[in-house]
Amino acid sequence: MNICKNVGSVYRPNIAKMVGKPTLRVVLAMFLFSLISLNAGLTDFKTIDAAHKAYEAKEYTKSAALYNGLEKKTAEKTYDVGNAYYKSKNYDAAIESYKKAKGVDKAMRLHNIGNAYFQKKDLDSAIKSYEEALKTGEDEETRFNLDLAKKMKKQQEKQKKQKKEQEKKKDQKDQNKKDNKDQKKDDQQKKDDQNKKDQKNKDKKDQEKKDQKKEKDQKKKDKDGQKKEKKKENDKKEGDKKKSDSQKEKKPKDKKGDKASGTPKEQKKMSKEEKIKQQELKRLLKKMEQKGTPTMMYQMGDDKRSKKSDDANPW
C-alpha cells in the first residue's frame, strides 16, 4: 500500500528517475529486452517477455517466478525480480534481490531497499538506506522519502510514548483500584472486628448486669428470709413471754395452806400488795434458815384467824 505518491514506487533500470510512474515506455522496454536477448537463448527471451507481461498485468508473483526461472541471470534480471517481489508485497525477498543486483545503479537499489523497509515499518533501516542513497548523489524523491520516514518515526515514537503513558495510567488506575479494593476490604475487616469486639463487650456487660441482678435478688431473698426468721423468732419469744406472764398471774395455792385454812383447791387471785408481802416473807424465811435462827410464824394480814394465847409456844 502506497503511503504517498513517492514511497511504494520503485525505480526500474535504464529509465529516468521518475518514481511513481505506473507505466514503462514501450520503446525503452523493447530496447532493454533486445539487449538482454543478445546474451540469452530463445527460451530466455520468451521467458523474459512472459515475465514482463505478467509484471504489466500486476501478476507480480508470476513475474518473479518467471525471472527466477531464467537459465542465465544478470544484475538487471535480479533487480527486476526484486521489483516483482516488492509489488507482490514480499518485501524481505525484494530486499534480498536488490542487494544481489550489484551492477545496477547503487542509488536506485538503495532507494528501493529504503522503500521496502518503509513498507515493513522498519523506519530506522529505511532512514539508513535513504541516507546512504543520498551520499552517492542528491535525489528529490529519495530526500522526500527520507523526510517522510523521519516524520513517521517521530510520530511513531510519540505514539509509543503516548501508549506507554496510557499503559502506565491504566496500570496505575488498576493498582489504585486494587488498592482501594484492598483498603475497603481492610476497612470492612476492621469494622467487622470492631463490631465483634463491641458485641462481645456488650454481651459481657449484659452478663455482668444479669449476674449483679441475680446476686442482688439472692441477697434480697436471703435478707427477706432472715427477716422472716427473726420475726418468727421474735413472735415465738413474745408468745413465750405472754405465756410466762399469764402463768405467773395464775400461780397455784399451797396444799398445806389449803388444809389448815380449809380453803378450796382452786387458786385464789392475789392482789399486787399481797404478792409483794408473800415474796418478802419468803425472802426472810430463807435468810433465817441460812442463819439457823428459830422461827416464829404468824399469819399476817388475816383478820379472820383467831389469836393465840400468850402461853402458847412460839415454835
State CA 60 to chain mean position distance. 63
Q: What is the pLDDT of residues 88-108, one digit of tens each?
A: 999 999 999 999 999 999 999
Position 297 scores a pLDDT of 53
Whether 234 shows a pLDDT value over 90: the answer reads no
Question: Which pTM value belongs to this model?
Answer: 0.45
Whether 20 shows a pLDDT value over 50: the answer reads no
Position 246 scores a pLDDT of 80
Q: Which residue has the higher pLDDT, 308 or 224?
A: 224
Give 38-45's long-range contacts (Cβ < 8 A, gap of 24+). Answer: 39/72, 39/74, 40/70, 40/71, 40/72, 41/71, 43/71, 44/70, 44/71, 44/72
Position 53 scores a pLDDT of 75
Cell numbers found for residue 14: 535504464
**In the chain, what percentage of residues exceed pLDDT 90?**
37
3-state DSSP assignment of residue 281: helix
Cα dihedral sign for 51, 54, 56, 60?
negative
Confidence of residue 9 (pLDDT cuts 50, 70, 90): low
Structural domain boundaries in the chain: 26-149
pLDDT average, residue stretch 136-154: 95
Whether 253 shows a pLDDT value over 60: the answer reads no
Whether 140 shows a pLDDT value over 80: the answer reads yes
Cell numbers found for residue 307: 389469836
Position 69 scores a pLDDT of 63
CATH number, domain 26-149: 1.25.40.10
104 - beta bridge partners? Answer: 102
Residue-averaged pLDDT of the chain: 76
Q: Which residue has the higher pLDDT, 34 or 122?
A: 122
Confidence of residue 238 (pLDDT cuts 50, 70, 90): confident
Confidence of residue 242 (pLDDT cuts 50, 70, 90): confident
Q: Which residue has the higher pLDDT, 248 or 180?
A: 180
Would you say 11 and 108 are in contact if contact means Cβ atoms under 8 Å apart? yes
| Residue-by-residue DSSP string for 151-182 | HHHHHHHHHHHHHHHHHHHHHHHHHHHHHHHH
